[in-house]
Structure 1
Amino acid sequence: MIFKRTTGEDETIVAMLAAALRRDISFGSLMPDQKLKIEQLRQRYGGSNHSMRETLRLLSAEGLVEATAQRGFRVTSATEDDLRDIIMVRGQIEKAGLELALEYGDVQWEGRVMAAHHALQKAEIAVATTPDDLTALTWDEACKTFAATLIDASGSPRLIDMQAKFFNQSRRFRLALLREGNLDFARRKARQQALLDAVLQRDTVAALQVLTEDIEAELRAEPNTA
């Protein structure tokens, strides 16, 4: 064999495959509890047996995929109990992270929060006006960035990693609500502005309260009042 794939190349391929599967799980192209067969996935996404297996192991560690007793893989379930647990865990992690960030965050952190909020507002307008796959993906990424930025001054890498893991697990619930028209963008805008205001005022009590409400509302049906 003339060319040998390096470890770095393997990691790049796995990262690309993981991003594609993550997206399709979030958007419902890969359904909850669906069996994931290596050969079928390779035909759809590319990669080798090894890279696809490593991808599934990575997504399993993130909680998006489960290994079955028969040594296969399937998409993690998405039941009401799953949703309830994700809301509870996200709330605990993100409140802890935000409380620390409010204590330790500097002016630069405030600037990052403001920038993330501004990008989210633009994405919200776009997806509310034209809810296609592209605007939905951009909007979902803006939601993720805003949530991550709120805690990135916490000083806890492990807490930040946990927040990212459980946020990824919650994405398909949010995108499902978007597809079903069960997001009230006017209420979302008001909550997000209230959260930003509380952060800039360093009002910890108000910030944690609005954050809790926002996590709950973005994952459960909230009929549009328009």
Structure 2
Amino acid sequence: MNTLDRAADAPEGSATQQAYHRLRSMIVTGALRPGEKLKIDGLRRVLDTGASPIREALSLLTSDNLVERIDQRGFRAAAVSAENFGEILQLRCVLEDLALRESIANYSLEWEEAAVLAHHRMQRAQAEKAESFEDLHKQFHMALLANARSPILLKFCSQLYDLNIRYRYLAGSALAYQKRDVRDEHAGILAAAIAQDGDTASERLLNHYKLTGAFLSGLLGDGTLG
């Protein structure tokens, strides 16, 4: 069982579940900076909850590689590095290539409709600059993979997405990244996938990731994200 499942197993709306999701969001979006010490008393005030749910949530987040233990009782937001990002990118490319090809091989009309709908919702949110865009962006990428009959593989893909997206949040809206036509990249991946062209879909998906990877690696190299 992965960490998200363990958090989801907590009673709906429980303090641990709420603390887990809020802390996870704060780390992924950069509200809690890489390497920042996560003090229980400070987090209690921010989250307006007890110490026990926060400790339990932080323990769960260590399994997501978003939090690190620094001693018997202390925690900090996981550090970032070029090496860490490179490993995340490599694993994403390998695992999502496998998942996308399996998803396409298991083609169904229901999967196509779900992927097209996820793409439409993401594009609309992007055009409207809606706050929901990032969640819908992930939903689109996961919808492409959703027809793979490999639950463990899909869980790893989801976790790696979150680890990767953290680096994009840290980069912010850098001009060089915004010059890319990401909308066209997404549309091209979708078109190949629903045409059941696994080779082209995979090539476009991996190029999509590698373009972002090259940009973020450049920022890491010059210390912008350090």
Given the two structures, how large is their TM-score scaled by the length of structure 1? 0.85
Task: Decide whether the 8 Å contact of 2:92 with 2:157 is kept in 1.
Answer: yes
The equivalent of 1:169 in structure 2 is 163
Which moved further from structure 2: 67-76 or 98-107? 67-76
Task: Decide whether the 8 Å contact of 1:18 with 1:55 is kept in 2.
Answer: yes
Deviation of 1:53 (Å):
0.8
Deviation of 1:12 (Å):
2.6
Would the alpha carbon gap of residues 188 and 37 (structure 1) be closer, same or farther in structure 2, given more than 3 Å must change? Answer: same
Would you say how many aligned residue pairs link Structure 1 and Structure 2? Answer: 209
Matched ranges for 1:1-226 at <5 A? 8-9=10-11, 12-127=14-129, 135=130, 137-184=131-178, 187-221=181-215
1:126-172 Cα shifts (integer Å, max 9, x gaps): 23xxxxxxx3x411111110111111110111011111111111122
C-alpha distance in structure 1 between counterparts of 2:175 and 2:190, whole Å: 25
What 5-or-longer segments of structure 1 have no aligned partner? 1-6, 128-134
C-alpha distance in structure 1 between counterparts of 2:12 and 2:200, whole Å: 46
C-alpha distance in structure 1 between counterparts of 2:31 and 2:119, whole Å: 29
Task: Decide whether the 8 Å contact of 2:66 with 2:77 is kept in 1.
Answer: yes
The percent of aligned pairs where both chains have the same amino acid is 24
What 5-or-longer segments of structure 2 have no aligned partner? 1-8, 217-226
In the alignment, residue 105 of structure 1 is paired with which amino acid? Y
Given the two structures, how large is their TM-score scaled by the length of structure 2? 0.85
Would the alpha carbon gap of residues 167 and 161 (structure 1) be closer, same or farther in structure 2, given more than 3 Å must change? Answer: same
C-alpha distance in structure 1 between counterparts of 2:107 and 2:23, whole Å: 34
In the alignment, residue 183 of structure 2 is paired with which amino acid? K
Task: Decide whether the 8 Å contact of 1:63 with 1:165 is kept in 2.
Answer: no
